[in-house]
Amino acid sequence: RQEIGRLKAQAGDLLGQLLAVNPEQQIEELNDRLPIVLFPVRLETRFHAASPGAPFTPAVAGVAAAATASQLWIRIYPDDCQVDSFEELPTKTELENAREFWAGMWRAGGVEAQERGAWRSLVAGSSSGRAAYVLQQYAPNIADKPVKVDPQDVVLVIIPGIDVTPDEQTAAFDYYTAVWKADGNKTDEAAALAAFQLAVGNARADDLRAQFAPEANGQDTPRPYTRAQVRVSCAVLKLPPPPPSKTASWTQAPKAAALPDRFVALLFNGGVEVKRVLGRPVTDGLPVGPDPSLPPDQQIKKDGDDLVLNDDLLWTADFERAVAVGMGIKVNLTPAEAGQGFDRLVVVGLRFSSDEKDSKKRLETLFAHHYSSTHGFGLVPQGSPTNNTESEGTGYSWVDDPDASYDAVFKGKEAYAETDDVFQRRDGQWLAEALGIDDAVLKLVPNAAGRDQGEARAMNVALWQTTLGYMMEEMMAPIFSRSDIAATRSFFTRYVSGRGPIPAIRVGKQPYGILPVMAFSRYSSGRERGGVFLRMLPAGDYLQRLHTLLM
């Protein structure tokens, strides 16, 4: 921990040197063919008195602050979407649940209804993404899964604790099958044991009964069948050595991912920027919650009515510490500014220390970690209710729909094939292309195969001839040329969407809309800068003329 602390301090010093240049100059060095993803942050502000103990009054619209205020203090907190609470190591309980799930899959013998039952039991206590992640870490050879002849057949699942020879396995299968068919008949059970001992020897029979025995769960016949009416067989489930595990579900502090290198506070009055203040470099991997792995003397403690926080977490409560780690900004004020206050405050920051490849990887990792955490991640279909009402519940539930997640994880229902056809392109591809990330990150998440974006554009095609197309061709003839009408139709059906241009996402129970923006005052329609989408438009200066018209 001391070495990590020393390296973090070094990294902070180097980052400070890197960021000595004004961000306005640094942003000009970025490739303007690539968009910039801005995450939301939460701000807290107060006007601070010039002298300790002096009164202060916060400045709000129509209310002047006390003249004694000499600074505006700004706190910055990352939002949920930027907090990474992923735990790489599964817990012992998660591994035990995974073990029972695979045993249930073997007992199901390929009967989908029974496989869904095993999955339903597994995801009852966690998100489907977390369950799928644990299964990836602890999976047998699926090709060895038995296949039932009839759904009511019974498969006795053996998870071996020792190695056995083929002859020993055959003798054990015969013994367990005979005991199961005996259905409690002591005479038949004794005869089966004698035959087993004769085949492998008494001592080996005892070892096999102890470490090569069927799981107790799942040995009953399905109703209304009796043991005489069904077939029974044995199957071996060979699980790999369990991965490293932990005893608690929470072993490390959640951290803020992909924060800017530093924040800038912009203050406005009357729509005009009147002040700009640069914050200090932001500490990378900033902890945003308690760390249970710290030694006892560094854990949160209570001192009277106060909480004592460790150094990593102190920034959340101590403003001076927040300023030191770049999550707080002090704005010096003139008496006039303190009295008048400000109409608007904007805090924005960019990450210059990561290039496009590193930024892509960070965003993909963040989304993958959200999906594989207990809170879950997915796309939000259009029309999903965001609040509970008397007549309808919210679109979010802390318990995943087990049937929908089974279809996604085991049948690839959310997986989709990438396409250039805007009407067939699935919502996950729209999101991945807009953010510049790999589709593979999204092909398991809920609702990634939705068609909201394609349907919206198909509606534009359906409505074109009776709305905008009719107006341009008939009502406004001969103002628009045929080439302009064709270009407008192409643009309208590809880029205009009544459902928004990018699908919304969900991190835990919090939905987020994604809003593309641009500075139209600096717009240039050069086709070489337009990318693959704008190259689908007809040649000419159509986009520049459309921009001029809209302005």
Q: CB within 8 A of 15, min separation 6: which ones? A: 261, 281, 284, 353
Range 45-49, long-range pairs (CB < 8 A, 24+ positions):
45/72, 45/73, 45/74, 45/75, 45/345, 46/72, 46/73, 47/71, 47/72, 47/73, 47/333, 47/338, 47/341, 48/72, 48/73, 48/330
Task: Find the mean pLDDT for residues 244-267.
Answer: 89
Range 12-16, long-range pairs (CB < 8 A, 24+ positions):
12/281, 12/283, 15/261, 15/281, 15/284, 15/353, 16/280, 16/281
The confidence score (pLDDT) of residue 363 equals: 95
The confidence score (pLDDT) of residue 176 equals: 96
pLDDT of residue 284 exceeding 90, the answer is: no
The confidence score (pLDDT) of residue 20 equals: 67
Task: Find the mean pLDDT for residues 256-280.
Answer: 94
Cβ(256)–Cβ(286) under 8 Å? yes
Residue type present at position 516: P
- Bridge partners (DSSP) listed for residue 43: 76
What is the pTM for the complete model shown?
0.86
The confidence score (pLDDT) of residue 52 equals: 54
Dmax (CA) of the chain: 101
What's the pLDDT tens digit per position in 192-231? 999 999 999 999 999 999 999 999 988 888 889 988 889 9
If we measure between CA atoms, which residue out of 260, 342, 221 comes closest to residue 78?
A: 260
Distance of alpha carbon 287 from alpha carbon 290, whole angstroms = 8
Distance of alpha carbon 447 from alpha carbon 376, whole angstroms = 13
Rg from Cα positions in the chain = 32
The confidence score (pLDDT) of residue 250 equals: 79
The confidence score (pLDDT) of residue 494 equals: 85
pLDDT of residue 481 exceeding 60, the answer is: yes
If we measure between CA atoms, which residue out of 143, 103, 96 comes closest to residue 234?
A: 103
Distance of alpha carbon 67 from alpha carbon 312, whole angstroms = 36
Task: Find the mean pLDDT for residues 120-131.
Answer: 88
Task: Find the mean pLDDT for residues 534-539.
Answer: 52
Residue type present at position 169: Q
The confidence score (pLDDT) of residue 299 equals: 82
Over the range 314-329, which residues count as b (16 or more CB within 10 Å of their CB) and which as e? bbbeebebbbbbbbbb
Residue 531: which pLDDT band, with cuts at 50, 70 and 90? Answer: very low
Weakest-pLDDT range from 237-246, 399-408, 442-451: 399-408
Residue 538: which pLDDT band, with cuts at 50, 70 and 90? Answer: low
Provide φ and ψ at 441, rounded to 5°: -65, -30
Instruction: Name the DSSP class of 89.
Output: S
Instruction: Name the DSSP class of 472.
Output: I
The fraction of the chain above a pLDDT of 70, given in percent, is 93
Task: Find the mean pLDDT for residues 537-548.
Answer: 75
Task: Find the mean pLDDT for residues 30-58.
Answer: 79
Residue type present at position 338: A
What's the pLDDT tens digit per position in 328-337? 999 999 999 9
Containing 45, the helix (H) or strand (E) segment is strand 41-49
Task: Find the mean pLDDT for residues 147-164.
Answer: 94
What's the pLDDT tens digit per position in 343-366? 999 999 999 888 999 999 999 999
Give the chain's mean pLDDT: 88
pLDDT greater at residue 368 or residue 20: 368
